[in-house]
Structure 1
Amino acid sequence: MFDDSALVLRRVDRFIRDRLAPAVERASVPLDITAWTVPDEPVPFAEAVAQQFVPFAVGTPWGTPWGTTWFRLRGRIPEDWDAESAELEVDLGFHLGQPGFQAEGLVFAPDGRIVKALEPRNTHIPVSGAAVDVYVEAASNPDIGQNWTFAPTRFGDKATAGTAPLYALRRADLVLRDREAWELVQDVAVLRGLYGQLPPTSPRAAEILRALERAVDLSDPDDIGGTASVAREALAPALAAHANASAHRVAAVGHAHIDSAWLWPTRETIRKCARTFSNVLDLMDADPAFVFAASSAQQYAWVEQRYPGLFARLSERVAEGRFVPVGGMWVEADTNLPGGEALVRQFVYGQRFFERAFGRRSTIGWLPDSFGYTGALPQIMAGVGLNSFLTQKISWNERNVFPHHTFEWEGIDGTRMFTHFPPVDSYGAELRAHELARAERQFAEKGAANSSLVPFGFGDGGGGPTREMLAAAARTRSLEGSPRVRLTGPEEFFAEAREEYAHPPVWAGELYLEFHRGTYTSQARTKRGNRGCEHLLREAELWAATAHVRAGTEYPYDVLEDAWRTVLLQQFHDILPGSSIAWVHREAEAGYARVRVALEQVIADALAALTGPLPEPPSSVPEPPSSVPEPVEGSHPAPDAGSALFNAGPFAVDGVPALGSGPAHTASDARLARAGDTYVLSTDRVRFVLDASGRIVSAVDAASGREAIAPGQAAGELQVFRDIPAQWDAWDVDENYRRHGEVVASVESIVVVEQSSQRVAVRVERAFGDSRVAQEFSVSAGSARIDVTTEVDWHERQRLLKLAFPVDIHTTTASFEVQFGHVVRPIHRNTSWDEARFETSAHRWVHVGEPGFGVAVANDATYGHDVTRHAREGGGTTTLVRQSLLRAPLYPDPDADQGRHVFRSSLTVGAEVPDAVAEGYRLNLALRPGRASVEPLVQAQGVVVESVKLAEDRSGDVIVRLYEPLGRRGEASVTFDADVASIVRTDLLEDAVSEPVVGATIVLPVRPFEIVTLRARRAGR
């Protein structure tokens, strides 16, 4: 028998395109159009509608890049129309690119009430009453993401974007919609899509094909509306066939991932939130089964502030359980780069907002699009009341397929979090047949479980679900050949998934993304601003809390909260990682500058209250301390060997922790000697040799006599590589960069810049390419380290600058600091997983060692690292530790990283992990001048004190956050030097989780890498 399936399909597809789709509109009449162009930045509705609107015609260009044009659309429904089937159809000039990356509009009624949004694939506006009158705030955003090429990047900066109009108004009509024809379109779309996922020889495929053929036969091409019902009857049996009992079950949760900044500035994100949320509320009015989940308290806060009427409507749906706040975070932050306390505050500020605004906290972690996930996250999420976690991005792995979709994720401390990784491989699905089939096909837990979550709705640039997606969900609720689709909420899905799969597999440690490794390095100024402000916030809270307790000063709650919110916003996963347009990063740097000014004033005020008037505060880029911090008068003595001590200062008004692995060292002179073509910089603990090219060729530990530098190699060496990734410029570093490198060895000058008993320093100046660099190598009395300050005037393009430390250590692993601890990563290449981990993130330090001897490489603002093993002259292996200092991507910011940068690094010889922890703090905390010593407010042994502040509820209680940094079980002792009535242990949200202990001291057990939060209530409060 002749197989005519291909012919039938061509006939069906042409019928859909040429006859069926156009028939959805039975009639249309043009609207009267007037317009007003905003001169510069967007203005509120009331200001816009008070302007003089002028006539505007369809086909007229409009919209300079990043501009706003207000349109007023007026008309009247013809008397012979069915008014309930009438709506507006507006095309602002949309192209076929992605929704959310081009022109968009927000529609207002004349009284200022938001109606819904206009998006590239969501172009209708509901009407009520015979007379039509609406305003459209149209944003002419340039599509910087079109084709993901370098050409449009000039649009990423308003100053270079030009003034030529980007769009032309294509349509503004009042239309009469044929509801039955529209429903037929949805029927055909679902069945046609399903047919494409079935074996063409299967009985079900044949049934669907013949049903589609009958529907075409029964449709009158000249009267689709009149015959749509008959055609739908022909399709009804195929649509009524129930899904198989074993069909995969899909929980369809409405979603719209909205990047808080990316290829648009944050001011545009605020409007995107209003557009998306109004679309969602419009759909909820029409479909009572529709449930929508949205994360990011910051986005809700923006809507509350800028669109209070919309927020009130949204809040009603939250109360119904249909608009679900998820995530519990201030923004969907990157989780590799924020510090531990900042990551906690993401959740503290997020959960506090949700509780205040909606009377509820989130229970589900929601980070679909971040670039990998720190192993510290499960403990943090559990500590703020989350019991489940959803992510998606690991599906982007370049090399290895992640083996689970539903699993327990075990963090570095042992905390486990029930986690789902949707097999649909998308956080913006459209509920099309191929997506549902992919979810069923890829689900890794078949046989043990059979449910997955599909977040559906246009995302990245927002937009959200559409009525077509809801129609697809209704038709696939139980459809033979398709997974079963049910509209539901994320909390319901996780409850059912946990019940269905009581003993899921366990994945231990970080969720490393084998992609976007360049985000550890791109936009170095943004990263330096984040690191500096995190540590300034730590200092400001500590000093302000101490001044409040000791001197009775007012605690600057509002100033600190504003600073935190700025820092938290800028930890969004396209800002801090360096993958946004120039406009975004320029604003981020300005935000960090404001935070620095505010926090320096907080610190100065607190210190003045404690010690009297102070000298000028340090610069925004403080110089490194001149010596290892020693115990000061009145503080705890140095710890016993192997213990961790952090006296939560102030300490001699220097703000530096005293944390080490052995007894205090007596300071001795720093020394400088010239020997032939070298310089020798030494203390009683270590001897460093710089060769004639200004590189470290020897580092001998005095105690053991051990040489730390790999034979024939040089440390402190700058290396430059070609950096042209195959796909995403600012996001990616490809491993092939290693094949195209050169050493920056040329020397213009070597000068001794300081020579005293406390510190000696040598400055080396070099030039390469179009750039210049100066390195200062210094040692300080009593220390076992050499500080390397690298000043770069960077003018390269698509090149990568690394600072290398080859050390004579044989190891297969290295320790990298992460939030509240460290991870030990393999540095061999035994498996494809190991090979893929060729660039990784670390916070303040990396440690490599053999039993009894190790080195620590620390930094003050660098995150990207690679650590590799190499054959050693004479046998064995050596280890190369490299810091990634700078990149020069062209997209999406063609001028990324250009200009002057300063990096401070250090190499500590004979170091163990506790020394690395201490060195990381030392290099990142500025010395604070003062006129007297101040006793520590909190003293702790066995743990590090990360944060000292007053309680978020403004009760005046003192909050202390501690953590065990070494990965071992022990006991912590914490003492408050204040009139404390009781101490209680709390969760990260500062709610009590134990009975209070009377007095100012508490002793408690701690497990490896455990985070502990204590709340001290002072006497008389």
Structure 2
Amino acid sequence: MSTTSNMLYTLEKLKQRIKTIENLRYRDQIELNPFWVLEDHEKEIHPAIPQSSLWEKKSIGYKWSGYDTYLWIKYDEIHLPKTFQNKKVLAYFDFGKHVGDGNNEGFESLAFLNHLPYQAIDANHQELFIPKDFYHKPITLAFRLWSGLTGGHGNKPVHHEVKTSFLCWLDEDVDDLYYTSLAIWETIEVLKMNDPNHEHISQLTELLDRSYLLIDWNLEYQNNQLFYQSLADANNHLNSGLSLYDKKSSINVFCIGHTHIDVAWLWQLKHTREKVIRSFSTVQRLMEMYPEYKFMHTTPQIYENLKLDDPAIYQFIKEQVKKGNWEIEGSMWVEADCNLTSGESLVRQILYGKNFFKKEFGVDTKVLWLPDVFGYSWALPQILKLSEIQTFMTTKISWNEVNQIPHDTFMWKGIDGSEILTHFLTTPWKYQAKDNFYSGYNAILAPFTIDGAWRKYQDKDLNQDILISYGFGDGGGGVTREMLEMRRRMDRIPGLPNVKTTTINEYFDKLHQTVKQKNHLLSKWDGELYFEYHRGTYTTQAKVKKFNRMLECLYRQVELLSVNAYLIASNSFIYPKTSLDIGWKKMMTNQFHDIIPGSSITEVYEDAHRDYEKAYSIGKKALEDASNQLIEQSNHDLTVYNDASWMRSDIVFVPTKSMLSFYDNKLKIQSQKINDGYLIFVRDIQPLSFKQLTMKEENELTKTTVFKYSDLSLKTPYYQVLFDSSFRIESLFDIENDRFVSVEGHKMNELQIFEDKPLTYDAWNIDIFYQEKKTTVDKLVSSEVIENGPVVFILKNIYEYQDSIISQQIIFYANQRRIDFNTHVDWHAKKQMLKVAFPVNIRTTKATYDIQFGNVERPNHWNTSWDWAKFEVVGHQWADLSEGNYGVSLLNDSKYGYDIKENVMRLTLLRSTTYPDPKADIGEHDFIYSLYPHHGTWKEANTQHHAWNVNQPLIPVFGKTNESDCSLFKFNMDSIVVDAIKKAEHDDSIILRFHEYKGNRGKLEIESDYTILSYQEVNLLENELSAWINHHVIKTTINPYEIKTFKIKMKK
């Protein structure tokens, strides 16, 4: 760019001129004033315009406010002037406060044209074009306005003002001049930022300047016709000059319209249903105006509600899907969290999602589209491959705090060796620093975005085609007319990549072809995609996480027992698929990536708890119905069910006030009377089977114990334990293995409090500096031995911390090595985090964590920046530190945040964030964590089995069964976990799904004490992978961490 141009402030002048003509596009403005308003107190989802005598007349400047408040505004009997008849007529509205870009806060409204829903009017969509067939008739415009919420800043009213409403016609020459000028000016700015000597800077600046010199600004307020003619002349000169450039670029930016609509976040599920209607109605209007416009949206849950709420828009979508304008993709029921959600739940997310899209739209989705989730399980590649998904897309991982994943297009290798083509969007945040590798998924189509997305892309040698999803999002809104106009122009401007429209499948089909041709340049990532941010989401909103874990376990049991009942009593028992589907959908909806992580407002969790209660009621009734088919009432019998795929010996709690003794084949069972029942130790229950016990009344209790306790010292059959004065474990000696589990000078089961004030994203983040300030919970209120008998020893301790009470029962067992810490917390802290710490006498450089369909090893040290970043990680039911011949596992029933470094095992129990939910985690909590010291490694010691016992206790039912000791399925390998036994989706076959979890390979045989007639291997969608085999034993091979699913026909 020349020195003369700089001295003359050419670009500054042009920027001002472009801003001036922005409003000149709207010709012959007629103010729409007054208007009528009516408060809407019903808050129904998508109501019609109300018929009421309470409408009030108001004028421009009218102020309205509220928190989750609705207001109707109506303009009656609008007649277009005759001078508008051959023009492009629009109405323009500004109704309220604008906050941010993506309808996260601020007003939103749905416009009704002559009483029919028409489009959204919000901060980013203020034009409403009148269809030509309305030009000769009276027009009524009505708007249902929503005040919005305050995004977790308390229930404060949001204040709005009706600032503007007018009717006009659009001068298409000036509109064209405005957008073309804006696109060129912004391109020049981008080129200057990247290369001040770029050849196109001076060319484009000169073209734009010479065009604007043709505008006779002296006539702006004098001769309207001649002034607008000079604007048209400038536009012709600009477009003629631009057409002379031969744009040559080998880079293609493919664009798909999109609006990210969080199922819930700073708003509730009910608000999302209205956001969807507003956003999708806007898509409809824009598609009528721009035939090249392609739009994509995920989330079957959203479409299912839309089908009920607005059948007309739903039908429009189905028509556009057939035409190829509206793309159905994404695959999951909701865009689910992939850290906390179990493996089987992830399978169901895709199964329900793909089945819905296939049934409703005839579309078989091929992409998992998860732009905004907070981490990516190593199990995902295998899940996707077995669900007929070819490509995985995300972008949130670009928010990593420290380390950047070194590729944006690569093969991601999963826990079992499955590979999935993975692609990251590289769209920059608007005006972000050049060295910032953050990317987004709500692109604004502008030269900065187009240029920046290519510059940020790390695999330029492999691929010259990148993808942008554009449109305002999070709270919906979507694409604007400006974005569509800018795309048309950017595709013509030299110095920028080519800018094309696409569909997701067109883009990824092309990408697959590209990487196939350049496979030698395609990189591979083998391991989890750990997100170095939002680590607090493993813990925040603990009750939601506990409910989810409980329901995942419950629904597995329900399906399994329902299959049992179906096989045994097929004439009288109906498998409860309809009700289970309702429960699964409620569970899956709340696995959305802003609900289960704990990052939503108070009202979202009130809704979630109601959903969970409903799902729980459905599950419990189905469990009772199945049990009633399998177990006959009897006053002298007790049936215990083992839902695990291995033989099991464990404690059973029997609720009863009677004095009883228990027998297994006439052999008396060890039992211990406690306040509200008995604890009995039941041995050797066959896998997936019932065990029949008998009960006899007793006149007196026999009091015996195997535990010796005095003066802070306890001896159990397995351990010598020494407590300190606050009843933390000062010393833990393993008698059987003749070694200390504890570390001298360090306390075990130490409850630790940390100041928890992250820099940003309160509910989401834990920042590493939290470790600088630690307080221990040591104010002991009371301690007492509440049980000491032949089965258990229980020590109850109560602590105070500020306004919070922690009550804990430490349980030692006579017949197993596990030590349980049953904990009740009445939590009232703010901005503080509760952890429990177990320093252990183990030497190893890595820890192992339970994840979906397997486990992952992570560093037990701080060697590299990648290790530092993993200062808080996610695990499911257990984590372990093992040497060659000894180890310690830390188990839990509802926690996910682990912190294991330098042989200190810590579990994060509670947080107390204040944004966006100021009430987060305040109140009462019940949870269990357990310590399991063991001989050998976690594999040899079967840590998985002991974690299962904590999460899925043996099920006792009063009554007797004829199915005692009959295993539904038995496996000849000890490293198999059964994930699901259910009825098939589309026929009467039985689905058996399991995975290998120890990293073993071998020949597997599966038998049943019922009769297997035939079987075939299927994928996670229950589509066949092999032919049917007629045999009573299932024979297959299994690889390390492999998921297998079989469809089985069984004799009923």
Structure 2 length-normalised TM: 0.88
| 1:104 lines up with 2:113 in the alignment | no
C-alpha change, 1:795 and 1:517, in structure 2 (3 Å) is same
Which of 177, 181, 186 in structure 2 is aligned with 1:184? 177
Residue 4 of structure 1 deviates from its aligned partner by 3.0
Residue 951 of structure 2 corresponds to 924
Letter in 2 for 1:153: H
Determine the C-alpha separation between the residues in 1 that align with 2:328 and 2:238: 39
- CA-based RMSD of the aligned residues comes to 2.6
| 1:464 lines up with 2:478 in the alignment | yes
- Partner of 2:178, secondary structure, is helix
The answer (yes or no) to whether the contact 1:207–1:238 under 8 Å persists in 2 is no
| 1:799 lines up with 2:827 in the alignment | no
Determine the C-alpha separation between the residues in 2 that align with 1:346 and 1:132: 45
Letter in 1 for 2:6: S
Determine the C-alpha separation between the residues in 2 that align with 1:83 and 1:977: 81
Residue 839 of structure 1 deviates from its aligned partner by 0.5
C-alpha change, 1:99 and 1:235, in structure 2 (3 Å) is same
Higher deviation after alignment, 51-60 or 332-341: 51-60
Determine the C-alpha separation between the residues in 2 that align with 1:56 and 1:43: 25
Q: When the two structures are aligned, how many residues end up with a matched partner?
A: 965
Which of 295, 299, 311 in structure 2 is aligned with 1:292? 295
Residue 913 of structure 2 corresponds to 889
Letter in 2 for 1:823: V
Residue 256 of structure 1 corresponds to 259
Residue 153 of structure 1 corresponds to 153
Residue 652 of structure 1 corresponds to 691
Residue 679 of structure 1 deviates from its aligned partner by 2.9
Residue 402 of structure 1 corresponds to 405
Residue 866 of structure 1 deviates from its aligned partner by 0.6
Map 1:1010-1021; keep pairs closer than 5 Å.
1010-1019=1042-1051
Residue 516 of structure 1 corresponds to 534
Which of 885, 890, 900 in structure 2 is aligned with 1:857? 890
Which of 202, 208, 223 in structure 2 is aligned with 1:206? 202
Map 1:537-686; keep pairs closer than 5 Å.
537-552=555-570, 553-613=573-633, 626=651, 649-652=688-691, 671-676=706-711, 678-683=712-717, 685-686=718-719
Task: Please identify the structure whose Cα radius of gyration is greater.
Answer: 2
Encode CA deviations 1:625-650: one digit per residue, 9 max, x unaligned. 63799x9999xxxxxxxxxx996624
Which of 1014, 1021, 1026 in structure 2 is aligned with 1:994? 1026
Residue 327 of structure 1 corresponds to 330
The answer (yes or no) to whether the contact 1:23–1:225 under 8 Å persists in 2 is no
The answer (yes or no) to whether the contact 2:254–2:499 under 8 Å persists in 1 is yes
C-alpha change, 1:970 and 1:60, in structure 2 (3 Å) is same
Which of 822, 829, 841 in structure 1 is aligned with 2:855? 822
Residue 435 of structure 1 deviates from its aligned partner by 1.2
Determine the C-alpha separation between the residues in 2 that align with 1:47 and 1:244: 51
Residue 380 of structure 1 corresponds to 383
Encode CA deviations 1:561-592: one digit per residue, 9 max, x unaligned. 11100000000000000000000011111211
Which of 758, 768, 789 in structure 2 is aligned with 1:735? 768
C-alpha change, 1:3 and 1:359, in structure 2 (3 Å) is same
Residue 827 of structure 1 deviates from its aligned partner by 2.3
Encode CA deviations 1:304-356: one digit per residue, 9 max, x unaligned. 11111110000111112221111100000100001111111100110110011
Residue 13 of structure 1 deviates from its aligned partner by 1.4
C-alpha change, 1:528 and 1:927, in structure 2 (3 Å) is same
Residue 901 of structure 1 corresponds to 925
- Partner of 1:331, secondary structure, is coil
The answer (yes or no) to whether the contact 2:977–2:995 under 8 Å persists in 1 is yes
Residue 23 of structure 2 corresponds to 21
Residue 788 of structure 1 corresponds to 821
Letter in 1 for 2:143: V
Higher deviation after alignment, 582-591 or 42-51: 42-51
Determine the C-alpha separation between the residues in 2 that align with 1:447 and 1:126: 45
Residue 556 of structure 1 deviates from its aligned partner by 1.1
The answer (yes or no) to whether the contact 1:530–1:567 under 8 Å persists in 2 is yes
Map 1:338-417; keep pairs closer than 5 Å.
338-417=341-420
Determine the C-alpha separation between the residues in 1 that align with 2:213 and 2:624: 83
Higher deviation after alignment, 216-225 or 473-482: 216-225
The answer (yes or no) to whether the contact 2:45–2:274 under 8 Å persists in 1 is no
C-alpha change, 1:2 and 1:929, in structure 2 (3 Å) is closer
Determine the C-alpha separation between the residues in 1 that align with 2:971 and 2:65: 60
Residue 65 of structure 1 deviates from its aligned partner by 1.0
Letter in 2 for 1:551: A
- Partner of 1:349, secondary structure, is helix
The answer (yes or no) to whether the contact 1:190–1:475 under 8 Å persists in 2 is yes
The answer (yes or no) to whether the contact 2:639–2:691 under 8 Å persists in 1 is no
Residue 400 of structure 1 deviates from its aligned partner by 1.1
Encode CA deviations 1:98-121: one digit per residue, 9 max, x unaligned. 231221112233453x32111211
Residue 746 of structure 1 deviates from its aligned partner by 2.3
- Partner of 2:462, secondary structure, is coil
Which of 913, 917, 934 in structure 1 is aligned with 2:938? 913
C-alpha change, 1:981 and 1:450, in structure 2 (3 Å) is same
Residue 410 of structure 1 deviates from its aligned partner by 0.9
Residue 495 of structure 2 corresponds to 481
Residue 981 of structure 1 deviates from its aligned partner by 2.2
| 1:978 lines up with 2:979 in the alignment | no
Letter in 2 for 1:205: I
Letter in 2 for 1:905: Y
Determine the C-alpha separation between the residues in 2 that align with 1:432 and 1:322: 22
The answer (yes or no) to whether the contact 1:983–1:1002 under 8 Å persists in 2 is yes
Letter in 2 for 1:679: S
The answer (yes or no) to whether the contact 2:382–2:419 under 8 Å persists in 1 is yes
| 1:431 lines up with 2:438 in the alignment | no
The answer (yes or no) to whether the contact 1:725–1:733 under 8 Å persists in 2 is yes
- Partner of 1:88, secondary structure, is strand
Residue 56 of structure 1 corresponds to 58
The answer (yes or no) to whether the contact 1:981–1:998 under 8 Å persists in 2 is yes
Determine the C-alpha separation between the residues in 1 that align with 2:400 and 2:210: 44
Residue 1003 of structure 1 corresponds to 1035
- Partner of 1:747, secondary structure, is strand
- Partner of 1:454, secondary structure, is strand
Residue 936 of structure 1 corresponds to 967
- Partner of 2:368, secondary structure, is strand
Residue 91 of structure 1 corresponds to 94
Higher deviation after alignment, 441-450 or 694-703: 694-703
Residue 835 of structure 1 deviates from its aligned partner by 0.8
Determine the C-alpha separation between the residues in 1 that align with 2:685 and 2:239: 72
- Partner of 2:500, secondary structure, is strand
Letter in 2 for 1:142: L
Which of 311, 316, 321 in structure 2 is aligned with 1:313? 316
> Can you give the 5+ residue segments of structure 1 that lack an aligned partner in the other structure?
145-151, 156-160, 619-623, 635-644, 655-667, 870-878
The answer (yes or no) to whether the contact 1:255–1:292 under 8 Å persists in 2 is yes
The answer (yes or no) to whether the contact 1:985–1:1014 under 8 Å persists in 2 is yes
Encode CA deviations 1:675-715: one digit per residue, 9 max, x unaligned. 43x231512x4444333321123333333212211222122
Determine the C-alpha separation between the residues in 1 that align with 2:1045 and 2:498: 45
Residue 368 of structure 1 deviates from its aligned partner by 0.2
The answer (yes or no) to whether the contact 2:835–2:906 under 8 Å persists in 1 is yes
The answer (yes or no) to whether the contact 1:714–1:806 under 8 Å persists in 2 is yes
Higher deviation after alignment, 462-471 or 933-942: 933-942
Which of 132, 135, 153 in structure 1 is aligned with 2:139? 132
Which of 548, 553, 558 in structure 2 is aligned with 1:535? 553
The answer (yes or no) to whether the contact 1:107–1:135 under 8 Å persists in 2 is yes
C-alpha change, 1:862 and 1:233, in structure 2 (3 Å) is same
Encode CA deviations 1:596-648: one digit per residue, 9 max, x unaligned. 22211111121122112499999xxxxx963799x9999xxxxxxxxxx9966
Residue 47 of structure 2 corresponds to 45
